[in-house]
Amino acid sequence: MNRSVYPFYFGLAALIVYSIFFVLPGVMGIFYSFTNWNSYSDEIRFIGFDNLAKIFSGEGRYLGFIYNTLVFTVSTVILKTALGLFFAMLLNDGIRAKGFHRVMLFMPSIVPMLVVGLIFKSILNPATGLLNESLRMIGLEVLTQKWLTDLSWAFKSIIAVDVWKGVGYIMIILLAGLQSIDKTYYEAAEIDGSNFWQKLIHITLPLIVPALVVTTVLNLLHGLKVFEAVYVLTNGGPGYATDVMYTAIFKEFSTGNYGMGTALSSVLFVVMTVIGYFVVRLMSREGDER
């Protein structure tokens, strides 16, 4: 056999495997989202857009889950990017023991979210948690809160825990972007009398756009598919106040409502694809213009 055809057969085999394990399940999921598939009946009946209509009509709090997911995503993207850039610039130069501080900031990102969630669930316990106990010890009992059970604080606490865990990973990527910038740009800017903010806006940010694109896309995908942080810390409570798309999907499948679960999964997939595509296009275009 002619060896030149080997790449064709390997490519065909890879395409077949990819189709079976990735494309086919996705297509089946989209199909089942238009059915009443559930664990209470052996009959799977096609119901058209009924599941999607229920999601977007506000019935069953599904719009609230979408809203929570988007709020979580936007908040964590902004906070992780801002804090990650701050720490990256701080540890790029101008501080002693940079290697130690980099490791300490990066360490939380390699700890499983399940472990982080259990630790912070204990820390944020309103009665015996370390945070409230510390506030009481220093005479600031007025600042103690029911961090995970109060409607005003539960979702904010989840966001804070996720940012604490993930900011080190974002910092490392942005730090790599900063270290790729030629120092002569800053030297020339200093000769021209540029201040810190002028160098940040006209040199640093434009030249780390590729790194910002990567971190933004990673943060977006992470935020849209958040599950462990919510599930471990609050399980969607109090009530449905902190439920997001993936916890809603989990609960639908847990109760045997597979059709609605696949419908929610399909909606989330479309949202992730559309947002990711436009973010990459927008940031890449801005980078090219600069």
Q: What is the mean pLDDT of residues 47-56?
A: 89
CATH architecture of 58-289: Orthogonal Bundle (1.10)
- Domains of the chain, by residue range, sit at 58-289
DSSP annotation of 145: -
pLDDT of residue 24: 84
Task: Tell me the pLDDT tens digit for each residue of 104-145.
Answer: 999 999 999 999 999 999 999 988 899 999 999 999 999 999
Task: Tell me the pLDDT tens digit for each residue of 154-204.
Answer: 999 999 999 999 999 999 999 999 999 998 998 898 888 888 899 999 999
Q: What is the mean pLDDT of residues 4-15?
A: 74
Q: Which residue intervals of the chain are DSSP H helices?
A: 6-18, 24-32, 50-56, 62-92, 98-106, 113-123, 130-137, 154-179, 183-191, 196-199, 205-207, 209-224, 228-233, 245-254, 258-289
The closest of 258, 64, 229 to 163, measured between CA atoms, is: 229
DSSP annotation of 33: T
Q: Output the average pLDDT for the chain.
A: 88
pLDDT of residue 78: 96
The CB-side HSE value for 284 (13 A sphere, CA atoms) comes to: 8
pLDDT of residue 224: 92
Task: Tell me the pLDDT tens digit for each residue of 141-161.
Answer: 999 999 999 999 999 999 999
pLDDT band at 251 (very low <50, low <70, confident <90, very high): very high
In contact, 122 and 130? CB cutoff 8 Å: yes
290 pLDDT exceeds 70?
no
